[in-house]
Structure formats: C-alpha cells, structure tokens
Structure 1
Amino acid sequence: MNHPNLRRRAALLAGAVLITTALVAPPGSAQPPIGPTAGSMGLPTFAPGRYVVTLADKPVATYQGGVTGLKATKPTAGRKVEVNSTDAKRYRTFLSGKHAQVAAKVGATVSHDYSTALNAFTASLTSKQVNELSKTAGVVSVVPDQLRVALDDRKSTDFLKLSGKTGVWNALGGTASAGKGVVVGVVDTGIWPESASFAGSALGTKPPTAADPYRPYRSGSETVMQKADGDTFTGSCEAGEQFTADLCNSKLISAKYFGDGWLSFVPPEARADYVSPRDGEGHGSHTASTAAGNPSVDVTVGGVNFGTVSGVAPAAKIAVYKALWEGKDGQNSGGFTSDILAAIDQAVADGVDVINYSVGSIFESAHTDPVQLAFLSAASAGIFVSAAGGNSGPDAATLDNTSPWVTTVGASTVAPYAGTVVLGNGQKYAGISTSIGVPTGSHPLVNGPAVKVSGASDADALGCLPGTLDPAKTAGKIVVCERGVGARVDKSAEVKRAGGVGLVLINLFDQDALGDSHVVPTVHLNVPAALTVKGYAAAGGGTAELVPGNTSGLSEPYPQMADFSSRGPSTSSHGDLLKPDLAAPGVNVLAAVAPPTNAGQSYAFYSGTSMAAPHVAGLAALYLAKHPDWSPMAVKSALMTTAGDVLTSTGAADNNPFDRGAGEVQPSKMLDPGLVYDSGDADWLGYLEGSGVDTGTGVPAIDPSDYNAPSIAVGQLLGTQTITRRVTAVTPGLYRATVSVPGMKAVVTPSILNFTAAGQTKTFKVTLTQDTAPSAETTSGWLTWQGAGKMVRSPIAVVPTSVLAPTEVSGSGASGTASFEATAGKAGIPIRSYGVVSAPLVAGAVPAGAADADLPNYPVTVTAQTKAVQWNIKTVDPAGSIWLVLYKVVNGQTQLLSFVGDGSNQASATIAAPAPGVWGVLAITLTNPPGADTTQYTMQTNVVTSSSGRALQVSPPVAPAAFKPFQVSASWSGLPTDQRSTGFVEFPNRAGTVVTIN
C-alpha cells in the first residue's frame, strides 16, 4: 500500500501551529506571530507588528446617513459609488478623523486609511496597544497584516461556446461588443503591458462621442471612461520601475500598485519584482488576459503554435491593482492584507464593475475577515466579485473566499492538450502535453536512476532534480521522471541540460496531469499508465516515441473537477451555505504571462482555481454589458441556475455539490435564466447576524440556511427543517417545482408560481425531512423550477441526523455509567446498545522514516453488522511519539481521511456506524525514542458488532419527546481496567454514540 507524501503531511500537521502563527519578515529578522499566543494566566497576548483595525461605522460605499451634518453616500440601486462628490469627501474626512482618534487613544499612529469599501486603518502596534484596541468601543476587529498568497495556479472560450457563429460573443454583437462598457478590476501581481492581449490604441484627450460612448480618454493625469451602467470609471496609470504612464491604452486603461506593507517588510535585496504595476511573476497577466484579454491573439509557445487565444470578455477594459509581490526564490511572495485592502478600496473608488481575486489561503477566511468585509462593501456598491476557491483539494473543507456576497469558483477541466507515449512493445498511453510539435522518433527509454551522475541518490534521480543526470548517459534518450519534489518544469530543464530528447513525467498516485510549458517534448501520465511505463523502462532495453495528440484510442471525459480544486463544506458557514458556488475551466489554461519569469515565453499554460475565477469574472462582464442594472447576486444566480453537469472519470455526473457547487458554467444559457435569486445588504447582514456576528445594524437575524442563495444547504438537519427562498421573474410565466433529495422527504410550498410580469418576486418554502438517509452523512439533490421554456436548477446539500448526541463519551471502572444529553428529531425513536468489546493488545514497531508502503497497517472489513471500530495505540516507552492515519478503501483506491494524534505516546481513532468496506489505520512516527531504532507500541482493535461483547445497558429505550433534550445513560459491569473497552449506543439512521471505557 503506497501513501505518497504521508510523512510530509504528518509533519505539516505537527507544525500547524507554526504555520498559523508565522508572519513573513525580512531575511534574518525575527518572525513575530500573527495572532494571539498564550501569555501568563492563559490570557491572549499579541506580538508587536502591523495590524488592520476595522471600525463599526459604515464606509462610503454603504453609508446611508445617520451622522449629523453628513449625508448618505451609498449609491442608489443600479449606480456606483461617487467617491469624488462633496458628500463623500466630507464623510471620508469624518472617518479618517475617527481613525486618528481611535489610534491616539492607545498612542498609535495611522499608517493608511481605508474608507471606500472598508472603514479601517493600518498601524504598527505593540502587544499592549493591540489588546487595548481590541476592547475599544467601536472597534470591530484588530487583525494582523498577513501575507496572502496567489494560488499556484483546449481553448476554454471554445469549450464554453463563446466563439463561433452560434456562440455567445456573436449573439452579443461580436468580440468588439462582448463586454463593452464594463471595467474588470484585477487584484493580483500586476500586468505585462507589452503583451498582445493588452494591446490598444493610445489614450486621447477628447471625450467620447455618441457613436463611441464608452471610449476611454485622458483628463489630466486620469483615465476617464463612461460605462454601460451610466456611471464613470476614473483611474490612472501609475509610473514606477520599468513602467511609464503611456503604457496604458484603450484596453489597459488603468494600472496601480499597492505595496506599503510588503515593501516595508521585504528589503530590496530579497525582492524579485518591480516597484510598479509591472508583473514580476506572470500570475496577474494570466488572470487579466483570461478575463478580458484581446480576441484572436496568435500564440506560439516553445515552438508549438496553439492558434489564437481570447479573453472571456474581449471588449471589456482592464484596470490593474497590483497587491501581490514576488520575492527571490519564492520567499516572501504574496501580498499583505493592508496592500490588498488598499487595492480593493481603490478599485471600488475608481468604479470598476467586476473584481477578480485569484488569491487565497490554506485556511478559510472568516466572513468577518477584513478582505471579505471589503468585498461586502464592493458588492453593496454593485460590483461583482469572483474569487478563487483554493488549490488544496481534494480534501474536504479546504475552501477559501466563501462569503455569500462573493462568487466562489472551483476549477474544472476542458478537452485536454494530449500527447501519447508509444512504447517499443506497441503499447500506447495518452497523457497531457503542450510541448510536442512533431513526433520525436523512437529513442531509448530510461528511468532517471539509470542515467544518474555518480553520487546522486536514486530518489533524487527518479525526480530528475537539478544536477542529477549524467550527460554522457542521458544524451539521445527519453527519460522517465517522477513528479513530486521539485518544480515540474525544472525536471524537463534537467533532461535538456543532460542531452535528453524527451520526458515522460509520471504521477505515482491518482493526481491531475498538467500541460506545463516544458523545454523538451514531454508527456505527463497519470496512474495506472504511469506505473506501467516506469516498469517498462526499468526492465531495460526499451524504447519509446512521443507523439502529439491522443492515439491510444481511449479518451477522458470532461469537464471534471480538478483534483487540486478545493472542496467544501465551508466551515465558516457551518455547512449552511453551499460552497463553491460553481465551476469553470482552470486546468491547462493558456494566457499571457511575464516573459522573464516564464522562460522567455509571453504565454504559458497555468492551472489552478486562480485560472477558473477570471473565467467567471469575464462572464460577469459580458452579463453587465448586456444588463448593466443587474445586481451582482442576480448575475451570480443566473450563472448558477443555468450551470451544467460536471463529470466523474467514468463519465457519470458528479453528485457531490461540495466539489462542483451548482456545476459547470454554461454561457450559452446564462443570459436567459428565467428566474433569479437576488440578495443584497439586508440579506448579507441578516446572514451574519444569524451566524453569531453582531453587525450593529439592527438587521434581524436569519437562519443562515434561509439566506437567499441560488442553492440550499443545511449543515445539520435534526429531523425536519423548512427553508425559505424568494425568486424574481426575468421571464414571466407559470413555473412548476420538482425536488428530489435521496433519503429525504422533500416538499415545495407552493409548488406552482405564476409570474404575470418581469420583476415580480415570490416566496416559497422547501421542507426537508429525514427518511432513510443515514445520519451525519451528506445527501444531495436538486430543486428545479420549469416554466416559460426555462429550467432554473439549484443544488441542495443536507446533513441530516435523527438525534443530536455526542459522537463519543467516556467512562472508567470495572463497573460504571456514562451519561450524555441527546435531542431527537422525532419522539419514540428506539435507542439500542451494543458491546462492550475489549480486544487483546498486539505488539508492533515502526521506525521513523519508514517508507509509506512499510508502515504497519491495521485493516478492518466492515459489514452491515458492524456498529463501531476503535483503534488504540500506545508506545512502550513513555517518551515515544505515535500517530495514526485513518483511511478507507474506495473502488480499490486507498483514501486517507485524517491524521489522529497530538505527537504524544498514544492515539485513538474511532469510527461510528461505518459504511461497509475496508477501513483501517496506519501507524507512523516522526521520531524514535532516544537511543532506539524503532518505536515499540501495543495496538488494540475493538470491533463492535450486533452480536459482540458483554452487554451494555442503556436507558431510556426510546426518545421521550421531539426537539427537547433528554439524558441517556449507558452502564456496564465486569470489565478489565488495564485496557480499553468499547461499546455503542445506536439511534435510527446509523446515528450513534461510541462509549469508550478505561
């Protein structure tokens, strides 16, 4: 059994506290923690550093009046905020004054004010000042200025049916009209203005004419553009290092940079970037050109011509807000919260229509995170925000940017750029390739170790790490290299350096295959083909040829969710808001980059949710050009309710909404949604209040599941729950509802809605009741409204339970009782008990650094009679350290579920009411006890079945009432006290509580 990267993941888990409390600082300087640490008496203390302080008063974009002498500045419906009005200037002065007053109370000085999208300021604070500000009236939050990282991220515009005679662009008047009058703001790493994707005519000084109302022009140092919504965009082209104001044009109409935070922390010698809007990495140019790059740009990469590429909204204008920066060797790369806030604030002030935010964290941002609150204000001001969901998949609950006012985007595949490895034995294996122009011809095929330099390890040579291959042995050969340690493109660079003529890049386990721009012809293979090719090469004497295209006769379905795409549920919403919202192309996307950091290429293939988000930003721009008065959430609803299926590797529909949200965007249908689920300030604030956030607005709280999203989610449904929604007609008519959620009784009331005019809004309810659905397991389905020739589809995700009760309780003694509180969703449901089981202890040992395949393995074959399984491990030496890795086998593939333990000398893993199949744990240690070669331990595997063990007595035998807490008692006698025993209290629908004794 192979579990690649297991020790690396265990080490990351062990060091998680360090990850969450490390602030990037200049090389050689101390690294202060970014959050509270345990001080004396257990009270939180804060390290000195730069902080963002958010105040309760509304920013300019959402201020509705209330301060004596200061008029409201929130724009009316369908309008953008007027930041240069007299009222806005006066209110901004008021906010800045309050910033100074609050800072002065603790002896601090304001470094930067934010007033348009967020009412906040940044300041350098001592520990004492942070603590004092945290308790100051009117202060919403004091959070560290953190470094946020840009996500690592065949023609998507063709796949999305934007191009062609029957495509969306043509229906909108052609590429010259698709997105016209709309400005897309890109908060990212900057722009490479010389790229053909950003070419345009020089900006003149004459205002536009009626014949060309949206033509941007210069007015002094500013760029001015009348927009489709009737408002005005006012930006500028900020000069700086290798960037002059005349680099802006009729496409790239504004470019600014924000780096006070980053530049103050990273000294010049540690930077690999331009102190200007110029892109020092390529990520920002890629996202900008994907969203709104010029149409029909001819692209050749590495000598291979890929035809033309286009942005999703080719007539839209681009405004750049550089807030992410590149450090040398990747160190300190990213953007600080303060710089990102400044960029968002400026984008809102300038009057963009759409913001693309391909930035995220390995941890989910709270809805009250300053960046998320800034986006709330942006949405309130009528700006559509598209944000990347993250690249931490396929593990559950790995999303970021999950606030309801943001459109959270997952990454899916399109038809692949393919290449085929043709072996000397005639076998053909297709993979991903963007680097084969013509067939390579037949050459010897070798694994890296067969051609390594003297002194290189087999492991390093297998990874084709720099300097590991011997030119005398490698010349003229095609080399098989394992993916893993080292950048993928560095492996092809090493093969080229050593004289190799091709590369077969192989995955050792099921992962995405990616179309990087390699410097030698390369095919990236996934398992099982990857392992077959590796074995053929290892046998010696083999040959291979790399040919363009898929000649294997086998094809891969698409779109599929990318393996790396982060999954829900959202922890910030406790599963009551379905995220991601939808999926868009994010694998092997070809777009503009910065040549210096991309091997001199002007275009490159990138993958990530970073690439998916600008597709949605571009679609929103198309929408707002046609419907400039639509709200951001109405546009989001149209995108979601017209989305199509995402597929699995077998070609079946992906039925996990936490993978794909509402599904794959379908631009050909999005402009005609029939009905929309709209929302605005009151909905967002009510959602926050219902989530336990005091907004100070007086807005009534709503159950987060009742937030008017184009999806339905209930993170914990006890018995039954009724969810409320409202829909607004775009196309009037009679609509009938159908709803289906496996294992649930689902009823829509009323099930028929009759709209007699566009703009009418009607409310309905969906009642969901647990039937046969297993407790604590997600079940999902769809609610669909059909009428007026339209289909309006919303995903549903529900986690039902028959009883709310702890998953595990404990007790001690040969005889005893363990009591706990439970709440049933229905009166009279039966309560049963099973066990107790006390299995013998089994001796074992594991050395630190053991290969994944050599880790001790303790599998259990679970049947329908299995009630619970518990593994208990303890090291013989009290100074030992041990972990368990819980897994299950799904369709023959081992799926790691979690690491269990805290690094101490014992750990316990428990599963209640497991589904039939093979479950197990692996024993792993990171360090052996002092002087020992291995870590000795004892393992106990307690399997509770319907007929095992001594009797565990439980009372009461049935739930006395619905929705009222009651006490459950589990009793035992005659148990050994020198080892653990396990029992199980069972409720209906496979719900239950494990009882651990001694």
Structure 2
Amino acid sequence: MRQTTRRGAAIVAAALAVTISPVAASADPTPAAVPSPLPPGAGGTSPYIVTLADKPLATYAGGVAGIAATKPAEGRKVDVGTADARRYRGHLKDKQTRVARSVGAEPLRGYSVAANSFVAELTRAQAAKLMITDGVVSVVPDRLLKPTNDRNSVDFLGLSGRKGVWSTVGGPAKAGEGIVVGVIDTGIWPESASFAAEALGTKRPTKSDPYRPYRHGDVTVMNKADGDVFIGACQTGEQFAATACNEKVVGARYFGEGWMNLVPAEKRKDYVSPRDAQGHGSHTASTAAGNTAVPVTEQGVDFGKVSGVAPGASIAVYKALWQGADDDSTGGVTSDIVAAIDQAVADGVNVINYSVGGSSESSADDPTALAFLNAAAAGVFVSSSAGNSGPDPESLDNTAPWQMTVAASTVAPYPASVELGNGARFNGASTTVTAKFGPKPLITALAAKAATATDADAENCLAGSLDPAKAAGKAVVCLRGVVARPEKSAEVARAGGVAMVLANPSDQDLGADLHSVPTVHINAPDTQAVLDYAATAGAQVTLLPTGASMPYPQVAAFSSRGPSYRNPDLLKPDIAAPGVAILAAVAPPGAQGKNFDFYSGTSMAAPHIAGLAALYLGEHPKWSPARIKSAMMTTTYDTKTATGKRNKDVYAQGAGHVDPARMLKPGLVYDAAEKDWLGYLEGLGHQTGSGVKPIKGSDLNYPSIGVAELFGTRTVTRTVTAVTPGVYRAKVDLPGMKVKVSPSTLHFKKAGETKKFTVTLSLGTATADAPVTGSLTWTGAGTAVRSPILVTPQSVHAPTDVRGKGAAGSVSFEVTPALKKFPIKAYGMVAGPKVPSTISPEDIWGSQFAITPPAGTKAMELAVRPDNPEAQLGVIVVRRVNGVELLEYVSDVLSADERIVIGAPKPGVYLAIVLNFENLPGTTETPFTIQANLVSAKGGVGSLVATPQNPKVTPGVPLTVTAKWAKVPGGRHTGYVEYPNGAGTVVTVN
C-alpha cells in the first residue's frame, strides 16, 4: 500500500534524502522482526531543489499584473529577451528568494525558463517545512544521476540505401535539416569525424541554404525549419575554444556548479569545459545526428561506415554529466541537469536527448521531469533512456508521459564462437576475432590471480588483479561484472595474456566490444562449462569468427522493465530502439585511445529515437511532441524472443520496436499538451496550482491504454486526429477480457479532423490479479494504427484496514468480490515490542529504524506514538531492495499517533524514519515509541475469526464480512483478513 496525503507529501523530500545518508549507503542492515535503531546520518545541511507552482517563462500564459504572457505560440521558441520576459524572470527570482528566506535559507542558483526552481542548502526539517508552504510543488535532494550505459543501426532501421527513409526526404543531408538536437550528456569530442563541418562564419543564410548557422558576435544563430531561430553559444573552457563549434555543432555549454560543489577537486577527472572526457556524450550525439558515411577503422579492423540517424540535423551540446575518479563521483547532479534543460529550451532546440537515469524511478513531479514537462509544452521533443536495471520488473526511470521512454533492442550481432580442446563449441559475439585464433592455453582468471588480489577481483579481471607470471601467453576466462568490459581485456593484455573469453555469470546480453586482445563474449549457462574445462590441466581454446546468429531485434536483458512504480496506469517503456553494440564516436581519453567504439545501453537507444524525432520534425516542423510520439508508437512491430518467436511483453518493449519507414505515415495520432499533463499530475495527487481537473492515467490521451486496477467494468476515452483521411475500423486483441469499442468505425473527411471513442473493459475468462496484454488496432486509409493495452483485473474491493477495541469484540465491513470462488481466512492477533526513543529537530536525518518482515508475512502495522500527543512528528517508510530505496509511505505531518499499515508487504528491508518538526515549550527533545506488528500464517495471541469463510458470492455484489476477536491482551494488536490472491484487510485492536 502506498499512502500519500497532501500534508504527507510535505516530507517526500526527506524520504528521498535518505538515499545520500550514510545509513542508505551502507549494506542492508541485519534483518530484524522488531524496529532496530540505526545510527544517525551526519549533521548539517544538504543541497535541495525547490520547485514552485508559478509557471516558468516557457509556459507562463499571463496573470501577473503588468506582465504579459511569455509562453510561445505553437511552433515557436520561448523568447527570453523581451521586456516582459525580463520582468517575469525578476518576479520569479523575487518569489524564490522570499520562499527560501521563509525557512532561513538563501537560493544558491535559480532557474526560470523550463523550470521555476531554485537550489538551497537545507536541513531535513527546513525541507519538510518548505513542502507545506503554499506555492511549493516539490522539494527534493540534489542527487547524483548516471548515464544509463543489421550491425549498422541506420541500415537495420531502413534509413540508408536507395529505397531507405533518407531517400524519401531528399537524402542524408536533408534528414533533419533545420532541426537542432540538444544533447544533455558528458560533452563532446569536437575533433571526431562524426562532427566535422565547415567553420562557423558570419555569412548569413540564403534561399538556397536557409539553415546555414552563422556567428553573430558571441552567439551562434541558426534559422530553423519551424520558422524560429536557434541562438546558442560555444562556451570556452579547458581545451575547448570557440572554434570547436562549427556548422554541425552549433552550440556547446557546460553546467557543473552542483557537481563541483559535491565532488572535491582531487576526485575530478574531467575538462572544465564542454569537452568530453568519458565518451558517452560523443556517442549519443553522433548516434542521433552525426555525419553520414563516416569511415571507421579501429585496432586494424575495417568496420565500414557509420552515420547518425538524422545526419542533416545540427547538434547543441549541454554538458551536465562529469567524470570523477570513481563511480561514486561520476555522473551529474539534478540542479546542473535542470540548468542544462533550462538553457536548451531558452536556446531553442527542437529535440532533447536525455540518456540519464537514477537508480530508482523518479516521481512525475521531480524537478527534472517538471522541467521536461515545460520543455515539451514549449514544443521540444524529449527522448529518455528507460534505464539499464533489467530484466527486473519496476526497474524503469524517466516515466513521465511527456517524455519518450526508450528500451534497448539488439541489432544484427557479430557472431563468433569458442571451441574448447575437448571439442565442445559455444556461440558468442566478437568484433576482435576476425580470423581463426588459436589453439592457445586456456586458464581461469582465478588461476592467474595476483598474490595481492582478492578472488572476486581476479575472477572479474580488475586492474592489477592478474599475475603476469601465470597469465603470459594464455587465454583467460574473465567473468562479466564490476568494471567495464574493455577494462578486463586491458588487464589480460597487461598481464601478458593473448586472448580472453568474457563470460556472463547469469543470462545477459552479449556485447561486441573493442577489446585489447582477441575476445569472444559468451552467455550463461555456457559459462560454467567453459570454467570447468579451463580448470583442467592442459586446457586449450580456439576462437573462431563464425557462430550461430541470434534472432533480432530482441529487447536486451539489461533494458529496464515496467510496470511503472509511480505511474501504474501508464504503460512504460514507450518503445524499443537499437541499444546493443552500437558503433559511434567516443572520446579517446575515455576509450583507451579509440575514436569510435561499441557501446550498449538504453543510453544508446534514446538517441536513435531523438534522431528519428529530428528527422520527423524536418518533414513536419510544426508537429507537437505528443503527435510524433504517437506516430512512432502506433507504427511499431513486435520484437523477438531468444527462440525467434514474437515477443509481446509490453513491460519490455512497450508499444514495440520503432519502424522508421512506417512512422512517417501514421494515419491517426493521439495528441496531448500541457493541460493534459497537468491534469495527469493532479490525478497522481501532485498539486500544480493550475486549476486543471485531475485525469486518471488511464484516461490520458496516450497512444497506449493501461488500467492497473480494473474492477468490474471500466470505460476509457481517447481522441484521435486524422493525418490521412479515410474510414478506420477497430479490432481488439485482448484474450480473456470483454472489450467494446464505441464507435467501432471512424470516418475522417479531412486531415486534422478529430474524433473521440471509448473502450469499455470487463473481466471475461482471464485470471484476476494477473496482467492481461493485447492491442487495439485501427485499420484504414492503407495503414494500421496499433495501441498496446495492458489491464490487470482485480479480485476484490475491500477496506485497507479496520479498527476495534477491547479484549473481545467484532467489526463488520463491506467487501465486493470479483471472483465466483471467494474463500476468506483470518490470521492473528500479534503485537511486537515497543521500542522507546527520542528525537529533536536538530536530528536532521531523523531517527531511523530497520524492520525486515520475514518471508510469508501477511501484513505489517507500524505505529509511532509520542509520549506527548501535542508533539509534531512525521513518519516516512522506504523499502530497500538491493541497495535502492523505494518510497512506500509518507505520513501526515503533526500526527499525534501515526499508524501505518501495509498488507502483503513486499520483500526487503523497511526503513522507518521519524522526524521532529518542533519541540514543545520547555523541552529539548521528544520521547516516542515505535512498534512493528508483523502478522504471519502462524503464531499470535488470542484469536481472530472472519465470517463467512466460504461464502456463495455474485461477482460485483457486495457482502458483509465480520472479523471477531477474543482473549486479546491490552495494547495495540494486529490481525489480517485475507481474500483470494493475497489481498486483505488489516484489523487493528486497541
């Protein structure tokens, strides 16, 4: 159960702040069935981003006396240079200052174009107080974010060639011409051939060359296909002169104040300029819009030619991700990223690529997401990586509906194989084995372990972990993990090894990386067989450049999966695009001297979509981001499974794999704009101050249909706009569900005409509490417009919890079943020990307690009670899974007796964080007790019985259930009334 009230939302920021506290950074605490006190975090303040409700310049439609609207007209960029823009920006700055000073803080930095936010150093108590301040939307910690990390993807996508998509738009030079792609990443390596172009001059554009960029003083000016103007800058800095920009790279800026405040100088390993030290930004930029037909030869291997998806488009670089000395210091902080978005929108980019993500799903009102909302409202298409935490469910990030959330798929692999001396052969992938290599002696990395290395470091071939005396002249089996794959072959080479077998310890994708020695990458379960053989005396191996080709495109194992944790009615990811073994430009310092390299990740998939959006805008400059998203999503095809069958897993592929040839002729589109997105936020419980009515996620005019909890019958509404007029007929494929589309035929007489339809859903033969997937397809005018559908029918509607008093008694409540068979069973009563503690407002990290429900726990009730009922305490509960914290519950502020109930708790360590907002007069701290009651299938005191136990029911018709208890001692006790599929009602007594 997730429970967030308006006042409860006040301390969401404090909950998220725990992710940077020492407690959160440590290993999971020892499991405990009772609240176990944890050491407090360090004192002091932390940087937070405070977002205010007033609109930024990009979406301000007027309302402040004497200041006219600054929101641009459709198809135009926001003009930040007008007198009204300057006045309104000053108005926002004044308000930001007043809000910060209301809690005794000062703004460090402020943003006003795509976001109305400021950064301030705050204690947790100050942050929580700001969240209950009128006009404040969110307060979140300034956290560190990370880049999400046919063989030629543009050939595979059907862009190149005599009949490719480029040929239909006038050739590669016209593909995306007049469009600017903004890349928020690690910067750019301007010397790369993928970015080569004529130097920027002062010559103005002509009729024959209308989109030629030129220098005008210190800025770059470029007319765009939408009739507007891009005005950017080439910001100078370390090893980056103004001449680094050209007619391809029309702007380059860097944003690092937040990161540099966080990371000490000795741990910074980057250029203080737009120059790329890592390679990630150069890779994404060149993938989206790099030059066409750039020849690539690396390590003596000719890989042919590479091209960007929209080679005619221009690139504007916004460096907000930074290279540190280690993983903990590498990445970008939220405030720098918001600053980059703010500037990109002000400059006038058409598309933003955002290959960045957090370790857990961001909220739709996160400062970055809100900045992207305003960017999209201003007409900027935003392509975002889904994350690389797959194949686990609920592992996505960047799930807001105004962003395109992109999963990673495979392209044609580079097949290779490993042939052992005993005759066994295993298929894999390689770009460094171009001819038969071997036979060579084969050993495990553990057998080559250096005396000072740990077994784990040696198995993973970390730097310095192998002994040259043992590895010289041999092929070494290294396990995947811990460090980048090419670093492993570099260690083998350093130790004198001549080849490497890179082995996945579990089922994962195969990366065709450029390695320092000939390498074949194999997958589990073959790994164990190779390790076992390599451990035998006289083991030999031969690497071969041939092997079985794998079906493609498949969704990569690492690609993050849905469902969305925070937006359950929104089907995410949206779409799949190439993201495995993508060859593109990199930065030599971060790639062992290479100019091009193979990278894998949803980071590589997102720029394919960004490039396709640029290509689309080159043809339809005035189209909204939502229209383009719809055109891409409704013209996809299914990916494949490992066996070559159709993959219909919408949690993996979203709507399916992007199809550039079909996307330009979508037939119908589902459009949306700022008002829809604000309504969506209101529907999630986020107060936007816009006055817009709340919209359920299921009712958002989206190209997919999701109903996370379907009980009985549900009708959703959609509106479609004709791109190609004609008669369209609906067809639904949703096994086990009853579905009616009304009307089932739509007749459009002209382009631009809109029509509404409804989809009514109810349970048929499908299993309750299990997702059902399918599609709705409109066929007509020579095309098919397909929308994925995902519905989860529910088994019951029942109260989350009920209360009673006394040693014996009963409570009755109404339950509505959705199943014909409806057994009911009761468990409990139980009471955990009360753990005493104290807290003062100076404890800015709060008092933290760990509770680990044992496997099979039916329900958990957590109670926090101050000794004095007038005390002002708040409670947050987060669940830690594999080191990542997920927000489960935020209490009301100022609660005298906070009670938190979680039915059927998911596995993990639950952290209860108690905050004190203000001491009572005459006191320095507030005493309280915390108690955790964990209901299991066995044990307890007294008795709890639920009746009826096996009632005869009619689905959809309510029945009365009575929970009766006896012999229950004094004090809070908890029980659980359970229905089919684990759903239930918590019963609290005393």
TM category (shorter chain) comes to: 0.7 to 0.9
1:931-983 superposed Cα distances (whole Å, 9 cap, x missing partner) = xxxxxxxxx9979xxxxxx998526824589476x5423679999xxxx9999
Q: Distance in 1 between matches of 2:967 and 2:626?
A: 62
Deviation at 1:886, TM superposition (A): 13
Structure 1 pair 198–364 and aligned structure 2 pair: CA distance change class (3 A): same
Q: Aligned ranges for residues 235-634 of structure 1 at < 5 Å?
A: 235-454=232-451, 458-550=455-547, 554-573=548-567, 575-634=568-627
How high is the TM-score relative to the length of structure 2?
0.81
1:29-75 superposed Cα distances (whole Å, 9 cap, x missing partner) = xxxxxxxxx9x9xx999952322222221111111111111111111
Q: Is the 8 A contact 1:200 1:249 kept in 2?
A: yes
Q: Distance in 2 between matches of 1:123 and 1:960?
A: 57
- In the alignment, what sits opposite 1:211? 208
Q: Distance in 1 between matches of 2:305 and 2:298?
A: 12
| 2:344 counterpart SS class | helix
The amino acid of 1:445's aligned partner reads L
Q: Distance in 2 between matches of 1:45 and 1:822?
A: 48
- In the alignment, what sits opposite 2:893? none
| 1:176 counterpart SS class | helix
Identity %: 54
The amino acid of 2:668's aligned partner reads L
Q: Is the 8 A contact 2:200 2:213 kept in 1?
A: yes
Between stretches 102-111 and 502-511, larger displacement belongs to 102-111
Deviation at 1:485, TM superposition (A): 4.0
Q: Is the 8 A contact 2:578 2:605 kept in 1?
A: yes
**Is 1:785 aligned to residue 782 of structure 2?**
no
RMSD: 3.9
Deviation at 1:567, TM superposition (A): 1.1
Q: Is the 8 A contact 1:223 1:235 kept in 2?
A: yes
- In the alignment, what sits opposite 1:34? none
The amino acid of 2:468's aligned partner reads P
Structure 1 pair 187–457 and aligned structure 2 pair: CA distance change class (3 A): closer
Give the one of 65, 75, 79 matched to 1:78. Answer: 75
1:707-731 superposed Cα distances (whole Å, 9 cap, x missing partner) = 0000000111111100100100000
**Is 1:765 aligned to residue 762 of structure 2?**
no
Q: Is the 8 A contact 1:175 1:295 kept in 2?
A: yes
Unaligned runs of 5+ in 2: 1-13, 23-34, 830-853, 861-878, 889-901, 910-934, 939-943
1:591-622 superposed Cα distances (whole Å, 9 cap, x missing partner) = 11111111011111111111111110000000
- In the alignment, what sits opposite 2:716? 723
Q: Distance in 2 between matches of 1:343 and 1:886?
A: 31
Deviation at 1:330, TM superposition (A): 3.1
Deviation at 1:18, TM superposition (A): 11
Kindly tell me the number of residue pairs found equivalent between the two proteins.
Answer: 872
Deviation at 1:432, TM superposition (A): 1.7
| 2:326 counterpart SS class | helix
| 2:426 counterpart SS class | strand
Q: Is the 8 A contact 1:184 1:317 kept in 2?
A: yes
Deviation at 1:405, TM superposition (A): 0.7
Structure 1 pair 240–18 and aligned structure 2 pair: CA distance change class (3 A): same
**Is 1:832 aligned to residue 829 of structure 2?**
no
Give the one of 609, 612, 637 matched to 1:644. Answer: 637
Between stretches 507-516 and 370-379, larger displacement belongs to 507-516
Q: Distance in 2 between matches of 1:45 and 1:961?
A: 54
Q: Aligned ranges for residues 43-192 of structure 1 at < 5 Å?
A: 48-125=45-122, 129-152=126-149, 154-192=151-189
Structure 1 pair 806–514 and aligned structure 2 pair: CA distance change class (3 A): farther
Deviation at 1:781, TM superposition (A): 0.5
Q: Is the 8 A contact 1:422 1:428 kept in 2?
A: yes
- In the alignment, what sits opposite 2:676? 683
Q: Distance in 2 between matches of 1:138 and 1:805?
A: 35
- In the alignment, what sits opposite 1:915? none
| 1:450 counterpart SS class | helix
**Is 1:658 aligned to residue 658 of structure 2?**
no
Structure 1 pair 951–823 and aligned structure 2 pair: CA distance change class (3 A): closer
| 1:186 counterpart SS class | strand
Deviation at 1:155, TM superposition (A): 1.4
Q: Distance in 2 between matches of 1:24 and 1:301?
A: 44
Unaligned runs of 5+ in 1: 1-16, 26-37, 839-857, 860-867, 873-883, 888-897, 901-908, 913-919, 924-939, 944-949
Deviation at 1:529, TM superposition (A): 2.1
Structure 1 pair 269–959 and aligned structure 2 pair: CA distance change class (3 A): same
Deviation at 1:787, TM superposition (A): 0.5
**Is 1:196 aligned to residue 193 of structure 2?**
yes
Structure 1 pair 433–106 and aligned structure 2 pair: CA distance change class (3 A): same
Q: Is the 8 A contact 1:718 1:825 kept in 2?
A: no
How high is the TM-score relative to the length of structure 1?
0.81
Between stretches 423-432 and 557-566, larger displacement belongs to 423-432
Deviation at 1:469, TM superposition (A): 3.1
Deviation at 1:459, TM superposition (A): 4.6
The amino acid of 2:555's aligned partner reads M
Structure 1 pair 792–605 and aligned structure 2 pair: CA distance change class (3 A): same
Structure 1 pair 821–674 and aligned structure 2 pair: CA distance change class (3 A): farther
Structure 1 pair 911–696 and aligned structure 2 pair: CA distance change class (3 A): closer
| 2:558 counterpart SS class | coil
- In the alignment, what sits opposite 1:904? none
1:772-793 superposed Cα distances (whole Å, 9 cap, x missing partner) = 2222111111000000111000
Q: Distance in 2 between matches of 1:357 and 1:282?
A: 15
Deviation at 1:242, TM superposition (A): 0.6
Q: Distance in 2 between matches of 1:150 and 1:415?
A: 24
Structure 1 pair 995–95 and aligned structure 2 pair: CA distance change class (3 A): closer
Q: Is the 8 A contact 2:945 2:963 kept in 1?
A: no
Give the one of 691, 694, 706 matched to 1:701. Answer: 694
Deviation at 1:997, TM superposition (A): 13
Structure 1 pair 22–703 and aligned structure 2 pair: CA distance change class (3 A): closer
- In the alignment, what sits opposite 1:775? 768
Structure 1 pair 807–69 and aligned structure 2 pair: CA distance change class (3 A): closer
- In the alignment, what sits opposite 2:835? none
Deviation at 1:822, TM superposition (A): 5.2
Q: Distance in 1 between matches of 2:213 and 2:403?
A: 28
1:677-711 superposed Cα distances (whole Å, 9 cap, x missing partner) = 00001111111122222221111222221000000
Q: Distance in 1 between matches of 2:936 and 2:442?
A: 47
Q: Distance in 2 between matches of 1:981 and 1:137?
A: 37
1:883-910 superposed Cα distances (whole Å, 9 cap, x missing partner) = x9999xxxxxxxxxx9x9xxxxxxxx99
| 1:493 counterpart SS class | helix
Deviation at 1:462, TM superposition (A): 3.0
1:81-102 superposed Cα distances (whole Å, 9 cap, x missing partner) = 2222333223222222333333
- In the alignment, what sits opposite 1:802? 795
Deviation at 1:482, TM superposition (A): 2.0
| 2:406 counterpart SS class | strand
Q: Distance in 1 between matches of 2:652 and 2:763?
A: 23
1:277-315 superposed Cα distances (whole Å, 9 cap, x missing partner) = 111211111111111011111112222221111111101
1:768-824 superposed Cα distances (whole Å, 9 cap, x missing partner) = 1012222211111100000011100000111111312479999999x9898675542
